[in-house]
Every structure is written in structure tokens, then in C-alpha cells.
Amino acid sequence: MFLNAAALGDVPIVRQSLDDGALTLNVNCVDYMGRSALHLAVDSDSMELVELLMEKISFECVEEALLHAISKGATKLVKVIIEHPNYVAGAEQCRRTQKDPFFRTDEKSQFSPDITPLILAAHYNNHEIIQLFISIDHTIDKPHPIACQCSDCVTKQNYDSLKRSRSRLHAYRALASPAYMALSSQDPIMTTFQLRQEMKQLAQVEKEFKVNVSRNCNHHPSSSLTSSRRQGVYSLVSRTLLMLHRNMKSRSTVYVFK
């Protein structure tokens, strides 16, 4: 009844279930598809229910529901979740412990563990949600070179080379988001061309990065900068990286490295 009420956005029933089952109800329970009550509340677009469940549910369920809200483009629900004190406290605790999700083995989410909220927002090229995360100092780290011999890269390569390859692809696909570059870079035009050159070099070693963006990058940028910075830059970067972004999205997860 608890999960059914959450799926229907029935706030009174969910509240009653929480009150009546305070000692026995597992608020972190999931249905046969692995969806928590908060996940279902996001599906029902009930802001009141999301706020209610945020007080009770575990941070792991909150993380998964946040990613789901981002995938739905539910900007208002994303804002409610990331501004809630329980999310802020949980995120801070994760930063202090510095646990790398790369090594997570108990995967229950539809999203791979290397997908952060900002990376997912960039994958969907959602301008408003990207802005939300940039405003709270979230960033996307550029992957180390494929031949990097630092202890972190060597450990990940030895642990699971395919998983490392996938995480690199996810990161570069996010960095190629026109909205992310327009909002995060002081010079989005230069960033576009630098990324193009970097991707051409990567394509020689990592075949999943082999996409043709030369034609799009050769257009003169001046015609795109006739309106405001946000509109003009966003328009140029969108055209320049559209093929790159789509190709990276559709790439297979089976990679071959030389």
C-alpha cells in the first residue's frame, strides 16, 4: 500500500503509512523494478510527496531518485531535492568519506555508478538543471590520459578496464554538452575547438571517440554571436557539437583499445 500510494501521489495515505508503521515500515523498500517510494513520487510529479519522503528515506534512495528526476527533466523536483537539508548533509558526508563509486559492486540503479547528477544533466543537455548544479559548485572532471600511470588510473584499469572505458566515455560525452560548455567555460568557442582537437587525438587510441566533427567545427563563429552571450554562444556550441554529442550517446559499451 505504501508504494502504491507513492506511485499515485497520494500524500495522505503515505503520511498515514509513515505514522502507523513508524517502527515496522521499511521506508527504503523497493518494488519489483527496484523503484523506491521517492522514485515513484518523482514519477507522480508530486512535490509535496517528495518533500515528505525526503525527511525519512536513505541517502542512497535519494541519489537514485535525483538521477531519475534529472532523466525526466523535472527541474522543480531536482531543485527541491538538492536544496533539502538531508540531501545537503548526505552529499557532504560522501565528500568527506571520499568513497569512489567506481568500485561499487551492489549496483541497484538504472544508472552506472560513475554517473553524477551533473554528468547526467549534461547528457540530456538540460540548461536549467546544469545551471542548478553549477551554482552549487559541481563540476565535471576531465579524465586522465588513457596511458596515465597514476595509482588511481592503474588501479581502475586493473580492476575493470571496461568499466574505466565506460566512465571515460560518460565524462567526455558530458563535457561535449553544448549547454555545459556555454555555462561552465569562460570561452566556450575556444573550448569547442580544443575539445575537437582532443577528440581527434583520442580517436587514434580509443575507438569509441572516433566521430566526425570537422565539418561542424569549420564554420566561422562570428555569425552566431549577434545576440546575447548566452543565446549566441549556446547556438554556436550547439551546432558545433551536436553530431559529437549524439554519436557519443549512441555508441556501444563494447570498446576496443590498442
pLDDT tens sequence for the chain (258 residues): 889 999 898 999 999 888 887 668 888 998 888 899 999 999 999 999 999 999 889 998 999 999 999 999 999 999 999 999 999 998 888 888 767 777 776 655 678 888 999 999 999 999 999 999 999 999 998 888 888 899 888 888 888 888 888 888 889 889 988 899 889 888 888 888 888 888 777 777 766 555 543 333 444 343 334 333 444 444 444 555 555 555 555 544 444 444
Q: Which helix (H) or strand (E) holds 21?
A: none
List residues bridging with 30 in a β-sheet.
36
List residues bridging with 257 in a β-sheet.
206
What was the pLDDT predicted at 237? Answer: 47
Distances (CA, A) of 248 to 12, 186, 191, 233: 44, 24, 18, 22
Nearby residues of 167 by Cβ (< 8 Å), 6 or more positions away:
102, 112, 114, 143, 156
CATH 1.25.40.20 fits 1-99, yes or no: yes
**Hey, is 72 helix, strand or coil?**
helix
What was the pLDDT predicted at 223? Answer: 35
Nearby residues of 23 by Cβ (< 8 Å), 6 or more positions away:
none
For the chain, the residue count is 258
Residue spans of the domains in the chain: they are 1-99, 150-258
pTM of the model: 0.77
What was the pLDDT predicted at 230? Answer: 45
Rounded to the nearest angstrom, the gap between the alpha carbon of residue 241 and the centroid of all alpha carbons in its chain is 18
Least Cα distance to 245 among 185, 189, 173 occurs for 173
Greatest CA span in the chain, whole angstroms?
Answer: 65
Q: Please spell the DSSP secondary structure of 1-17, one letter per residue.
A: -HHHHHHHT-HHHHHHH
Three-state SS string over 215-253 comes to HHHCCCHHHHCCCCHHHHHHHHHHHHHHHHHHHHHHCCC
